[in-house]
Structure 1
Amino acid sequence: MRKVIYNRFGDANVLELTEQAVPVPEQNQLLIRVKAVSINPLDWKVYGGEMKLMSGSKFPKSVGIDFSGIVEKTGSHITGFKTGDEIIGMLDVFKGGALADYVVVKETDIVLKPANTSFAEAAALPVTGLSALQIMDQLAAVQPNQEILINGASGGIGIFAVQIARQRGAKVTAVVSTKSLDEAKQWGADKVIDYKKQDIQQLTQKFDAVIDLSGRLTFKAAKKRMKDKATFVTTLPEPQVLLYSFFNNLFSGKKLKILIVKPTVENLKKLTGLAEQNLQIVLDKTYFINEVRKAYNEASKGKIIGKSVILFD
């Protein structure tokens, strides 16, 4: 089978498409034939060496976190799935391994694919969708009528975050680029800001939660736009930020929360339920597995709307 690996840290050119043996599932595992894998910014942070503390430095390493596919074979102890089931799933965020024709998973890694989505759309759900759920329901704990600022609202997490925040009854201000203004309104944003034309630091409004999905807004800068007991959420789990957040949150009413995705079957099922209720999934580009370097090179430039997905023919 084909599998993408890398033997050193670097840019997308370190990714290699290799031939490997098809894995054999154990009694409590399933063999999945992969149909699509989504691209996440965390991928290039890991293979770029930015997450060595979490990923380790032993090679070879694998790529790809969330995926869709079909159950090919089940271990003898598997009771919740059968051969032929269409599923979505998520692997360890720092180890990956989904960019392969086949992957071995546990029952707790997967749920049934939403029937109204394609394999490409379904692969785009787990990482970004679970991230948005975790931000809204746990980190920011969004309540009805709260005022929420989402910076970077046209990315993978942002599109879901806008929709989920609106479902929770929040008033959403979405910060996007010019080309995403109309789309952000369609996703449900109450107010849309073009960051190329308006500096959010010049806003007079203050928010109950400021969610930065761009990686460019600091907590120090965001404080000016936060209410006294507001929350700032960042998606950058850097060691110094983790340490600073611990001490800040002991003494300050303005909290700093850091997203580290913690997938659960319950939340995956909640996410597929939202998808079946017409949660919008936006795909920017699709690629084939032999275009993996091109796919990551283009995605890492950060000018896409929604998610890019790699398909297996």
Structure 2
Amino acid sequence: MKAVRMDNFGDVTLQDIEIPKPKPDEVLVRVRASSINPVDYKIGNGMLSFLAKQPMPLVLGWDVAGDVIETGAFSKAFNPGDRVFAMAEIGLDGTLAEYCVVKRDHLALLPESISYEDAGALPMVLLTAWQALITEGNLHRNQRLLIQQGAGGVGHIAIQLAKIMGAHVIVMTSSKNKAFVESLGADEVIDYEKQDVVSYLAEKPVDLVLESLYGEAQTQAIRVLKPGGKLVSISGLLPETEAAAKEAGVDASFVFVQGDASLLKRATEFIARGDIKPFISQTISLTDFQKGFDQSESGRTRGKIAVTMD
């Protein structure tokens, strides 16, 4: 089979390799669609080398939608032919391949009404948004939420999820993406190129911040929270941010996404109804993976880059 595999950090190529065999707690999936996430190129180029959990070589990519081919001895809840989707375990052999193995507790059934392409674009960004906003952030109706980078992969799904929860959603983005985030449900839009977020929210602070920018923008975000509010970072917490949060009487925490079939199963109802839908800005073939990595690394991707098999 063909797979995007690295033999060492910085050495990522499309290779012909053996189809993997599922362990007892795994399922072999024929990949119909996947997608590009920043973690893919960041592990590939060594920026996040510490996330690699196995010796080289390593197949990259961790979103998948496809069909069950074979099940491990302890994975008989799934049957050959089942449509499924998942976020595989980051750092182990992944999903940018014609076939992949996925742990059974990461894998959810995919209704016929949801396309492979949509399902392949969703798992990582959907789980990130859910775990940050709901599991960690405890977001609920009528709370004021600030989302940084609202037009990106996680951000554009977070807007939709927050509106399902009944929150008032304030989004930071560029002027060119204003109409896009408003179409997803943003109640207010802050043009970060022209407006200062701290000044904008000085008289109307927020309950929760979904932080993804790191650096100075992270520490500044503490200043837009109400007393007792919370910042949830998906970029990694700085010591300065933790100190600023303590001084301001707010909470700050970091969420690193985890595969979770139960959350994907709960989300299928929203996806099937169209309440959550990925915006796919580009669809590429597996052979063009490097174009996807380059686009993702530019930091200017609206929504997601889908990958389909040749």
Is TM-score (shorter-chain normalized) higher than 0.5? yes
Query: Alpha carbons of 1:273 and 1:54: their partners in 2 closer, same or farther (altered >3 Å)?
Result: same
Provide the rounded CA distance (Å) in 2 between the counterparts of 1:218 and 1:194: 14
| Counterpart amino acid of residue 149 in structure 1 | L
CA offsets 1:35-56 (integer angstroms, 9 cap, x no match) = 1111111112222222233325
Q: Quick one: which of 108, 113, 122 aligns to 1:111?
A: 108
Q: Which residue of 1 aligns with 2:189?
A: 192
Query: Is 1:135 aligned to 2:132, yes or no?
Result: yes
Query: Is 1:35 aligned to 2:41, yes or no?
Result: no
Alignment root-mean-square deviation, CA: 2.2
Provide the rounded CA distance (Å) in 1 between the counterparts of 2:105 and 2:47: 28
Taking structure 2 as the reference length, the TM-score comes to 0.91
CA offsets 1:257-304 (integer angstroms, 9 cap, x no match) = 112112222111112222112112110101101111111111211111
Q: CA deviation at 1:63?
A: 0.4
SS of alignment partner, residue 100 of structure 1:
coil
Query: Is 1:257 aligned to 2:256, yes or no?
Result: no
Query: Is 1:54 aligned to 2:38, yes or no?
Result: no
Q: Which residue of 2 aligns with 1:220?
A: 219
Q: Which residue of 1 aligns with 2:231?
A: 232
Alignment of 1:144-163 (within 5 A): 144-163=141-160
| Counterpart amino acid of residue 9 in structure 2 | F
Taking structure 1 as the reference length, the TM-score comes to 0.90
Q: CA deviation at 1:252?
A: 5.7
Tell me how many residue pairs correspond in the alignment.
307
Provide the rounded CA distance (Å) in 2 between the counterparts of 1:257 and 1:96: 28
Q: Given that residues 115 and 276 in structure 1 are in contact (C-alpha distance below 8 angstroms), is that contact kept between their aligned partners in structure 2?
A: no
Provide the rounded CA distance (Å) in 2 between the counterparts of 1:68 and 1:230: 37
Q: Which residue of 1 aligns with 2:264?
A: 268
Provide the rounded CA distance (Å) in 1 between the counterparts of 2:167 and 2:261: 26
Q: Given that residues 150 and 211 in structure 1 are in contact (C-alpha distance below 8 angstroms), is that contact kept between their aligned partners in structure 2?
A: yes
| Counterpart amino acid of residue 5 in structure 1 | R
Query: Alpha carbons of 1:107 and 1:182: their partners in 2 closer, same or farther (altered >3 Å)?
Result: same
Query: Is 1:123 aligned to 2:115, yes or no?
Result: no
Q: Quick one: which of 297, 300, 305 aligns to 1:300?
A: 297
Q: CA deviation at 1:246?
A: 6.8
Query: Alpha carbons of 1:217 and 1:281: their partners in 2 closer, same or farther (altered >3 Å)?
Result: farther
Query: Alpha carbons of 1:7 and 1:104: their partners in 2 closer, same or farther (altered >3 Å)?
Result: same
Say which is worse superposed, 204-213 or 130-139, in terms of deviation.
Answer: 204-213
Query: Alpha carbons of 1:199 and 1:274: their partners in 2 closer, same or farther (altered >3 Å)?
Result: same
Q: CA deviation at 1:210?
A: 1.6
| Counterpart amino acid of residue 262 in structure 1 | Q
Say which is worse superposed, 260-269 or 24-33, in terms of deviation.
Answer: 24-33
Query: Alpha carbons of 1:215 and 1:307: their partners in 2 closer, same or farther (altered >3 Å)?
Result: farther
| Counterpart amino acid of residue 4 in structure 1 | V
Q: Given that residues 31 and 100 in structure 2 are in contact (C-alpha distance below 8 angstroms), is that contact kept between their aligned partners in structure 1?
A: yes
Q: Which residue of 2 aligns with 1:8?
A: 8
Say which is worse superposed, 34-43 or 52-61, in terms of deviation.
Answer: 52-61
Q: Which residue of 2 aligns with 1:67?
A: 64
| Counterpart amino acid of residue 141 in structure 1 | N
SS of alignment partner, residue 8 of structure 2:
coil
Q: Given that residues 4 and 17 in structure 1 are in contact (C-alpha distance below 8 angstroms), is that contact kept between their aligned partners in structure 2?
A: yes
| Counterpart amino acid of residue 305 in structure 2 | S
| Counterpart amino acid of residue 281 in structure 1 | P
Provide the rounded CA distance (Å) in 2 between the counterparts of 1:137 and 1:201: 24
CA offsets 1:48-78 (integer angstroms, 9 cap, x no match) = 2222333258422220011111111223443
| Counterpart amino acid of residue 2 in structure 2 | R
Unaligned runs of 5+ in 2: none
Say which is worse superposed, 201-210 or 70-79, in terms of deviation.
Answer: 70-79
Q: CA deviation at 1:99?
A: 1.1
Query: Alpha carbons of 1:222 and 1:36: their partners in 2 closer, same or farther (altered >3 Å)?
Result: same
SS of alignment partner, residue 15 of structure 1:
strand
Query: Alpha carbons of 1:186 and 1:217: their partners in 2 closer, same or farther (altered >3 Å)?
Result: farther
